[in-house]
Amino acid sequence: MKCTSLRGSRLPFLTILVGAIALGCALQGETPPDQLQVVTDAVQTSAQLEAHQDLVGMYNLEDAVAGAFLRTADINLDFHDTNDNLPAPSQSPNYPDWPDDFTYQSVYQNYANTYHDAATYPWVVFYVNHYASNPTTGPCPSIQVGTTNPASPNVAEPDATRRSSFIFVTDIWLVEKTLCSPAATDQQFENEMIHLVTHEYGHQRAGLTNNSGTNGTLYHTGSVPTGRQDVMVVGASYAELWGYADPVFDATGVETAGAHSTCRGNLLSNRLVSH
Amino acid sequence: MSSYQRPTQVVSKRRAETPWSARSTAALLLFSVATAAPSSGIAQELVLNAGVGKTTFFEGEPIYFLVQLQNVGTDTAWVYFFNLFSPAVTLSMGRGLGNPTPVAKPTRNYVVRPPWRGVPIPPGASVLNTIVLQDILGDEWDSRSHLFRHHLSPDEYELRVEFDAHAGLPGAAPLTLKAAPIAFQVRIPTAAEDNEVRELEAMRKMGWDTTRIAGLPRAARYSSTLIGWVNRRLTDQPDDPFLPFLLYEGLYGVGQILSRHIQAGEVQRFDPDTSEVVSRLRLAVIDRHRASSAGAHLVQALTARHPDQMVFLASRLSGTPAGDMARYQVERNQHGQQAKTQSPR
């Protein structure tokens, strides 16, 4: 795991950053919970400029996301920031904004096909700007924060060119820092982003389902530490999103590859998937 | 509403009020009703409808899947976000004699601040969504050379959809709505049907063709070729099931080969939503297919940039799936406008 930083200066909270860096680097020394050989994912991250600027100063984001997968299933995430100035989606009917991902899913797929170097990086997260359907005025709207194109439930998409996660960073920033009260502190906002990226990457990396309804009773039967929530839960509490920098997946602790009734089981089942 | 109403009574009432669902009892929509008491103590009565419009399709024919969540109670219902990509919606499908298995679909995720209590659905209101099933369901194959991302081979199918309506609603009792299973068959195409599929697939491949003609990649002519094809087909065979698909996904589903040319200024960006020709064709096809889920599907295509047309369509097509979709979009836009006019707290 590496301690990379996102460049820029939008979030001036040096003191907190020092602590965050220390925490992130501390995770480097973690020992995997079993004797599995650690596998490494080459993860491309690319961003539109405004989204990138909103992430500036989140020195712990990548390490914290990576830590969740390493602790749970010995999957190490090696992030590669390839582009911080991606263009707007030229095929979007809401250009330069992102269109409804339900109605125009092909816009997302085509964008990923164009800007994801799938041959080099089998996995990808796009940090992008405004999603047209998300409100940009108050009062404190609920918003869509991301979308991921997974394969079948609990199965990683076998074709790297069809993998993608999009996170609408500028909308999240606007809601959490401006439109809603109380506004998130920088640390709370970073913690929330850690959860959201972990959640989306969980969909992509192992086809993890959302923890709700039938899927919850079938595929999320493990436990989490007291007071915590599975990062794949639908409607996560703000106590979880803001209060913790170490997302947790539900687990029994005794899963092996082939088990599908917990997040950890599914991560273990898919950990060897690459290209 | 404080009293429980038996599902059969509710269904009967709604059938009388929605003639398009009543007319197509064989296939268009199948439904279920559920009630629950959320944290407020007020019972909710919600109906989940789902259908594909008919029971038999030829291999390669687009299957337009329509879902509708309806509040049949007298009080506003509060639910989690409802759409086919919602994390609270689960699709599963069985093929032949096999058991239903969950279906791959992109997954949206949301954040909501306390004291958020859900998305309000007023009494009598509905939420509608459509999709072409083969976009998310079936065996994956190369969408560059085929019309859809997935393939449904000839067989018997059963599709199920359920909605965890109270997912993420603090303190609300669990409420899972399940639409009745949808059974349909995909049959072997006739020679004429197969020829049409091949013709359209050939046109599809054009969208990725980098062969340069007069200095431009052949892909640059894809949109005009498609529009010409639709124009002719609408005259000759206006009921062609591909027409709504072509004027929707067909116009957006290809073209990344052109992205870099557009960025470089070599090719002008084609915007179907500002094309008068496309708009005219869409309205004509909607009118022709208004009684089917295909018509509703194409109405959904207009929502991104033509909310002004929704009011007209809702009135003109009232009582049809296309009209219901337009009415839902009108209500959705009104709700969105109201939200935007409110000041931040």
Boundary-marking domain end, from B155, B187, B219? B187
The two tokens of residue A229 are: 């929530």
Give the separation between CA B65 and CA B126, rounded to whole angstroms. Answer: 16
Each residue's pLDDT tens digit, A108-123: 988 998 899 999 999 9
pLDDT at position A1, please? 37
Contact criterion met (CB < 8 Å) for A152 and B170 = no
d(C-alpha A171, C-alpha B26), whole Å: 44
Q: Is B1 part of any domain?
A: no
- Give the whole-angstrom CA distance, residue B272 versus residue B278: 6
HSE-CB of A6 using CA atoms within 13 angstroms: 29
Confidence of residue B22 (pLDDT cuts 50, 70, 90): very low
Alpha-carbon gap, residue A245 to A86, rounded angstroms:
28
What does the alpha-carbon distance between residue B90 and residue B200 come to, in Å, rounded to a whole number? 31
Q: Return the minimum-mean-pLDDT range out of B208-212, B232-236, B337-341.
A: B337-341
Residue B87 CB-half CA count within 13 A = 27
Q: What is the amino acid identity at position A77?
A: L
Rounded Cα distance, B145 and B132, in Å: 17
User: Integer distance in angstroms from the first to the last C-alpha of chain B?
Assistant: 31
Does the pLDDT value for residue B41 go beyond 80? Answer: no
Residues B159 and B195 in one domain: no
Mean pLDDT, chain A, whole residue set: 87
- How does DSSP classify residue A251? B
- Two structure tokens written together for B153: 């081979």
Same domain, B77 and B144: yes
Of B113, B162, B254, the CB nearest to A140: B113
Contacting B residues, span 79-98, partner chain A, CB-CB under 8 Å: 80-81, 83-85, 87-88, 90
Q: Which of B344, B345, B298 is nearest to B321 (CA)?
A: B298
What is A14-29+37-270's CATH number?
Answer: 3.40.390
Instruction: Note whether B11 and B88 are same-domain residues.
Output: yes
pLDDT at A69: 98
| Closest approach of B16 to chain A, Cα-based (Å) | 30
pLDDT, tens digit (0-9, with 9 covering 90-100), for A56-103: 999 999 999 999 999 999 999 999 999 999 999 988 888 899 998 877
B133 and B273 assigned to the same domain? no
- Total domain count, chain B: 2
Other CB atoms closer than 10 Å to residue B148's CB: what's the count?
Answer: 23
Using the Cα atoms of residue A227, residue A244, residue B86 and residue A269 in order, give the sign of their dihedral. Answer: negative
User: Can you tell me the mean pLDDT for B162-178?
Assistant: 90
Please give the ipTM for the structure prediction: 0.78
Distance CA B191, CA A175 (A): 55
Pair B140, B247 in one domain: no
For A88, the closest chain B residue by CA position comes to B263
* pLDDT for B183 beyond 60: yes
**pLDDT of amino acid A17:** 40
Same domain, B78 and B203: no
- Domain hosting B115: range is 7-187
What is the percent of chain B with per-residue pLDDT over 90, rounded to a whole number? 49
| pLDDT tens string B141-165 | 887 788 988 899 999 999 999 999 9
Q: How many residue contacts between A and B have a Cβ separation below 8 Å? A: 176
The helix or strand, by DSSP H or E, that contains position B196, with its residue range, turns out to be helix B191-206
pLDDT for position A38: 94
**Are B156 and B289 part of one and the same domain?**
no
Together in a domain, B93 and B197: no
Q: What percent of chain A has pLDDT over 70?
A: 87
Contacts of A145 in chain B (CB under 8 A): 109-111
* Cβ neighbourhood burial of A185 (10 Å; 0-12, 13-18, 19+): middle
Distance from CA of B130 to the nearest CA of A (A): 8
What one-letter code names the amino acid at B178? K
Mean pLDDT (chain B) is 81
Q: Is B191 on the interface with A (CB under 8 A)?
A: no
**Inter-chain contact B116–A234, Cβ cutoff 8 Å?**
no
In a domain, B174, yes or no: yes
The per-residue pLDDT for A274 is 81
Q: How far is A60 from chain B (nearest CA, A)?
A: 21
A215: chain B residues, CB-CB within 8 Å: 90, 102
Query: Cα(B90)–Cα(B282) distance, rounded to whole angstroms?
Result: 31
DSSP for A220-268 reads --SB--TT--BTTBTT--HHHHHH-SS-B--B-S---TT--SSHHHHHH
Contact A147, B106 (CB under 8 A): yes
Sign of CA dihedral B124, B173, A194, A161: negative
Closest CA to A205 of A40, A87, A89: A40
Measured between beta carbons, the chain B residues lying within 8 angstroms of A147 are 85, 106-109
Phi, psi of A164 (to 5 degrees): -170, 145
pLDDT reading at A231 higher than 60: yes
Q: Are B265 and B153 part of one and the same domain?
A: no
- Residue ending a domain, among B158, B187, B216, is B187
Task: Check residue A137 and give its pLDDT.
Answer: 86
Question: Within this chain, do residues B165 and B20 fall inside the same structural domain, yes or no?
Answer: yes
Q: How big, in percent rounded to 5, are the helix, strand and coil portions of chain A?
A: 35, 15, 45
Q: CA A165, A170, A171: angle at the middle one, nearest 5?
A: 90
**Helix B276-288 and helix B222-236: axis angle, to 10°?**
30
* b/e B249-280 (16+ beta carbons within 10 angstroms → b): bbbbbbbbbbbebbeeeebeebbbbeeeebbe
Q: Measure CB to CB from residue A106 to each of B112, B140, B249 and give the nearest one.
A: B249
Residue B11 CA to residue B5 CA, distance in Å, equals 10
Q: Which of B164, B187, B210 is the last residue of a domain?
A: B187
Cβ(B298)–Cβ(B288) under 8 Å?
no
Among B9-18, B77-86, B183-192, which range has the highest average pLDDT? B183-192
Quote the pLDDT of residue A173. 97
Residues of chain A found within 8 Å of residue B339, distances taken between Cβ atoms: 135, 137, 141
- State the pLDDT at residue B34: 52
Residue B195 has pLDDT above 70, yes or no: yes
B106 touches chain A (CB under 8 A): yes
Shared domain check, B61 and B182: yes
Give me the phi and psi of B20, to 5 degrees please. -70, -30
Instruction: Give the HSE-up count for residue B336: Cα atoms under 13 Å, Cβ half-sphere.
Output: 14
Pair (B299, B317) in one structural domain: yes
B264 inside 8 A of chain A by CB: no
What's the sign of the alpha-carbon dihedral B112, B115, B117, B121?
negative
Q: With 50 as the cut, is the pLDDT of residue A128 above it?
A: yes
The domain ranges of chain A are 14-29+37-270
At A134 the pLDDT is 93
Q: How far is B83 from chain A (nearest CA, A)?
A: 8
Across the range B212-218, mean pLDDT stands at: 81
Whether the per-residue pLDDT at A21 is higher than 50: the answer is: no
Contacts of B199 (CB under 8 A, 6+ apart): none
- At residue B189's C-alpha, the angle toward residues B185 and B193, to 5°, is 125
Residue B257 included in any domain: yes
The pLDDT assigned to B249 comes to 87
Least confident of A81-90, A210-219, B238-247: A210-219
Chain A nearest C-alpha distance from B39 (Å) = 16
- The shortest C-alpha distance from B304 to chain A (Å) reads 7
**pLDDT, mean of residues B13-40:** 41
In the numeric block, the tokens 């989306």 are attached to A200
**Rounded to an integer, what distance in angstroms lies between the CA atom of residue A201 and that of residue A69?**
10
Greater pLDDT, B143 or B28:
B143
**In-domain check, residue B2:** no
* Residue B314 pLDDT > 60: yes
Task: Look at residue B143 in the predicted model and tell me its pLDDT.
Answer: 77
